[in-house]
Structure formats: C-alpha cells, structure tokens
C-alpha cells in the first residue's frame, strides 16, 4: 500500500509548469513507471478529485494544493518572511521571493509580486531549476562539497535561454564566485528579459536555510546596477531575519 502511495506521489510530481497536461504515456515516462501503473495512479487521482481527465489528457485540480498547503502551514518560514517581502517589494517596486532547496530545484515558499516578471505565474509551491536561478545558486553555494558535486554531476543541464550556463565546470566556477561574494546575480539565464539578485538567509546558528531575491524585467536595470541598487536592502533583511529563523 505504501508502495502505491509512493508511485502516486511520483506521478503527481511529473506535472510542472512546463507539463501541465499529460497523457498516460507521458506521465509514465516522466515518473519512470510502466503505463499500467501510471494509468491506475492517474485514474485514482481523478476519482478522488485530484485530477481531471478528458479522455486523453490529465491535469491536476486545485484540490492537489491541499497537500502542499498542509506542508507549508507547518513551516514557520513563510509566515516569518512575508512581512519583510511585502516591505521590500513596496520599497523597490519589484517582486521579491524566498525559496528553499529541494534536490536540484528551488521551491518558492513566499512571494510578494509587484508585477508578473516571468511567462509562468510564480507562487508558493512553484519550482524552478537551481542551476540557473539566483536563489538556486546561493543555496547550491551553501551545500557541502559532496552534495554540490552530486548536483553538478547531472550536467550538462538544459539551456533555458542562449545565456544559460549549462556545463559543470562553468557552473562550479560561478557557484564558487557566489560563495565568495555572498550573493548571486542572474542575467536572463532562466528566461529572456528577466534579471535577479539573491542572498542566502541564515538561521540563528549560522546555517543557510533559504534564499531571498529580487526579480525584475531586464529593462528596469542593467546587470551591473543590480548590486548597487538592491543588495543593501537584501542584506538588511538578511541581517534582521537571522535572529528569527530556526
């Protein structure tokens, strides 16, 4: 029974912003399951209201958010950081977010959006690759070397734009630079027209537990201007939150 639950969760995780609708075969391939098993999982999800099925494609329903909401509700981090995000976004006129690392991806846990800066709508629970995002790079920079090596061993990564660094050597060098300077700047690597800057968030014991960023349209600031304009505000919040995060 627990094996069936695990397979069902694997199927749910195959639905992403890039793959919101999937056939049985597509979900089976993405989850690493045979078609019969994927079909049973998908039909069970549909039966219980977690997915819709039009005869060919499955899509997740808002009911599945109950699973993530229950998890987020047990985490103090989103509630703690949200007032700071709101203030930062109001001060800068740009969107700000906090995320955590989950394997090779970042997961958004809180967000204050002044305007939509990506083609996909970002919200708590949204996932993006760590290798090409500013928050991802500061979180990767905080990993023990063995864990970082395990992530970089998955390279080369997909190039989301012509600017994306995809190779292990280039990424290792950039992550080392991020670790040394204490912040990361991304120039249109995750999506053309988007720039961002991020810093790590430490808890009271000095461990990196999350990342904080500001994301903006490339037309709003040059990549050279990002640290001068936004780093002081990010570092102020970084310092203020250090004594509050566990």
pLDDT at 184: 98
Q: How far apart are CA 116 and CA 112, in angstroms?
A: 10
Phi, psi of 121 (to 5 degrees): -80, 120
Question: CB within 8 A of 53, min separation 6: which ones?
Answer: 42, 43, 46
Return the SS3 of 224: coil
String of DSSP letters for 173-210: HHHHHHHHHT-EEEESSSSTTEEEEEEEEE-TTS-EEE
For 220, which DSSP code? G
Q: What is the pLDDT of residue 152?
A: 97
Mean pLDDT of 203-213: 95
pLDDT band at 191 (very low <50, low <70, confident <90, very high): very high
Neighbouring C-beta atoms of residue 121, cutoff 10 Å: 9
pLDDT at 197 over 80: yes
User: In this predicted structure, what is the pLDDT of residue 119?
Assistant: 66
pLDDT of residue 196: 98
Cα 219 from Cα 243, distance rounded (Å): 35
How many Å apart are CA 116 and CA 70, to the nearest integer?
Answer: 26
CA distances in angstroms from 191 to 7, 25, 161, 245, listed in the order given: 32, 28, 6, 31
Instruction: Lowest mean pLDDT of 62-71, 116-125, 163-172, name the range.
Output: 62-71
Whole-structure pTM over 0.95, yes or no?
A: no
Q: What average pLDDT does range 75-103 have in this prediction? A: 93
Q: What pLDDT was estimated at residue 76?
A: 86
Tell me the backbone φ, ψ of residue 135, rounded to 5 degrees.
-65, -40
- Of 67-71, 109-113, 187-191, 202-206, the one with minimum mean pLDDT is 67-71
- pLDDT tens digits, one per residue of 32-82: 999 999 999 999 999 999 999 999 999 998 788 677 666 666 668 998 999
- pLDDT at 121 (0 to 100): 76
Say whether pLDDT at 195 is over 70: yes
Residues 6 or more apart in contact with residue 28 via CB below 8 angstroms: 34, 35, 37, 38, 39
- Judged against a pLDDT cut of 80, whether residue 16 lies above it is answered with yes
**pLDDT over 80 (residue 240):** yes
How do residues 128-157 score in pLDDT, each as one tens digit? 999 999 999 999 999 999 999 999 999 999
């Amino acid at each position: 029974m627990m094996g069936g639950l695990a397979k069902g969760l694997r199927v749910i995780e195959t639905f992403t912003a890039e793959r919101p609708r999937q056939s049985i075969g597509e979900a089976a391939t993405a989850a690493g399951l045979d078609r019969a098993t994927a079909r049973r999982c998908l039909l069970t999800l549909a039966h219980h209201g977690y997915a819709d099925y039009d005869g060919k494609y499955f899509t997740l329903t808002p009911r599945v958010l109950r699973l993530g909401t229950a998890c987020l509700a047990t985490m103090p981090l989103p509630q703690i950081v949200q007032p700071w995000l709101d203030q930062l976004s109001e001060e800068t006129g740009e969107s700000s977010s906090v995320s955590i690392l989950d394997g090779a991806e970042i997961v958004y846990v809180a967000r204050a959006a002044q305007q939509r800066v990506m083609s996909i709508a970002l919200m708590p629970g949204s996932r993006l690759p760590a290798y090409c995002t500013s928050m991802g790079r500061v979180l990767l920079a905080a990993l023990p070397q063995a864990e970082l090596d395990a992530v970089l061993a998955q390279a080369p990564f997909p190039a989301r734009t012509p600017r994306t660094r995809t190779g292990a050597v280039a990424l290792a060098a950039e992550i080392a630079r991020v670790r040394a300077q204490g912040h990361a700047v991304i120039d249109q690597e995750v999506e053309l027209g988007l720039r961002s800057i991020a810093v790590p968030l430490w808890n009271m014991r000095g461990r990196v537990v999350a990342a904080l960023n500001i994301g903006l349209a490339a037309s709003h600031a040059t990549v050279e201007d990002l640290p001068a304009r936004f780093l002081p505000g990010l570092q102020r919040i970084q310092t203020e939150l250090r004594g509050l995060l566990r």
